Chain A
Amino acid sequence: MSGRQLSCENCGGPLTYGSAFCAYCRRPQRWGRHVAVERGEQFFVLDFSREPLPGGGTATQQRNDGALVSVEKENWERWGSFAPKLRNACVAVRGVAFDASADFGVYARMHAQGDAKAAYQLKIYPAFRSWRLRREAWISKTTHVSSIVDWEFSPLIGGVGTINEVELRFFDSVFQVVLNGQNVATVVDASFGFGLLGWVCGSHPGPSQVLLQFAGAWRAR
């Protein structure tokens, strides 16, 4: 079963994953065990050697091989968002961690309640070839998190100084973590359903630098 089938065969109406019936035509639905979310039509592709990194600000230096993001403090993050707001999409960033403190990844479904924001965050930590997926909610400078998958080793992740591509594919409540082009995990989580996409670079025991080369978003199908 593919993400394409998250629409009703009878009326074409959008379905929520696992729903017992179509909300529009009321036809009962049956669900298979697997949903594969694939990249469809492109929403945008940004090459950071040519285009500015949205939200990068003064901490970012544009070079001929990408945008160098410096995270000056330990246990800190820099992030930015990409329009449009989306419910279903595939979002990817490609980058290189320059030191053992650096991690990077993507945000999805970042939405606001007044000044507060909530989102999914997928990150890789190349020094330990590990990844994690979590929910975040933040206001001012305080961030609250709940882990979906905590730091987990994957042999698909390259170490410090190598190029890694981090991608999150999501359709309704189905999330697929794709690292360097290979599917690593599928998670079902309905917590957040709509919002902006984004990039994030972070630091662990000390300041870090990440070269972000590329970001892209595609329709999920």
Chain B
Amino acid sequence: MSTCPSCAQSIRQNAIECDACAVRIAYDAHGKPFAALPAIVPGSVLAVHDFGKVPLPGMTVRSKTWDDGDSLAATDQGIMLTLLSGMRWFNQPYLRIRDTCVRASFDVYDNELRARVVVRKQSVDDASLWYELAVTPHDQHYRLARLFTAPEQSDNTNLSGPVAHQAVFAKGTNVLELRAQGPTLEAWINGVKVCAVHDAALGIGGVAIGVGSFASGKKTQRALFRWLEVREVAP
């Protein structure tokens, strides 16, 4: 008996769909099953934020200093975030959505900073779950993952990567795009599709961008947020 290429559970012979995870299955010339994932095509624009002109999602000002020393500084090109430790999130407050294409542009200036775009971010009390496409430009790595965070602990399941990919630019501007349609997720970096996966665990949630430092202790890390675009999925 074959196993599902997506969830690794048993599938019936010549099945066109996995009974367990509902992924559509096709077969290669050797009869080996593979997940037949539908293409995700960006459609109409739902929201655009040009950070050269407007605040980050969920913020009312373009420049700010937090008590812990993290800060935002408005520039003509966008908003420069200076992070000393941990993570900063900027959640689009009105788009709780199933199928969407989220694209954001970042410059990361320091080596121990991870930039990410997020879809289907949902809260369960003060815990959160989400999908993210993240890059660490200095080593040209990307990762597509499902994450959990709560005040007491965080954890994740990697869906693709972390792995080096030449689509990630070590310096300058990176454009990250995460597309979600039903249980299909696609990750695009600088216009290159780097992976597509079937993962039905999270079905709906908010849109966000964020950066996180993985430096030990407090160390200044900087990133420039240029813009964020949220689109529908086109037929």
Interface residues of A (CB under 8 A from B): 12-16, 19-21, 23-24, 26, 28, 84-88, 109, 111-116, 118, 135-137, 139-140, 142, 144-146, 173, 190-195, 219
Contacts and interface: CB of A to CB of B under 8 A. Distances in A.
A116 B124 contact: no
Given A116-B127, A137-B124, A191-B203, 14 more contacts: A13-B38, A14-B23, A23-B184, A87-B20, A116-B153, A118-B201, A139-B152, A140-B153, A142-B150, A142-B152, A173-B203, A192-B202, A193-B201, A219-B19
Interface in B31-68: 36, 38, 40
Given A137-B124, A192-B202, A87 B99 contact: no
Main secondary structure of the interface of A (DSSP, over half): strand
- The 9 A-B residue pairs with the shortest CB-CB distance in the complex, in nearest-first order: A114-B155, A190-B203, A144-B125, A193-B200, A194-B200, A113-B148, A116-B148, A23-B38, A144-B127
Nearest to B37: A23
A20 B202 CA distance: 19
28 contacts: A14-B17, A16-B98, A20-B235, A23-B40, A23-B182, A26-B235, A85-B9, A85-B21, A86-B20, A87-B22, A113-B148, A113-B155, A115-B153, A116-B155, A118-B201, A137-B127, A137-B129, A139-B148, A139-B150, A139-B153, A142-B150, A145-B125, A146-B124, A173-B204, A191-B202, A192-B201, A192-B203, A194-B183
A28 B98 CA distance: 17
Nearest to B97: A190
A112 B203 CA distance: 15
B24 A21 contact: no
Interface in B1-29: 7, 9-10, 16-17, 19-24
Interface residues of B, number: 45
A20 B123 CA distance: 26
B126 interface: yes
B181 interface: yes
Nearest to B129: A118
B147 interface: yes
Nearest to B38: A23
B28 to A, nearest CB: 18
B148 A191 contact: no
B204 A190 contact: yes
A144 B9 contact: no
A139 B181 contact: no
Given A26-B235, A113-B129, A144-B150, A87 B200 contact: yes
Interface in B201-235: 201-205, 235
B114 interface: no
A19 B235 CA distance: 10
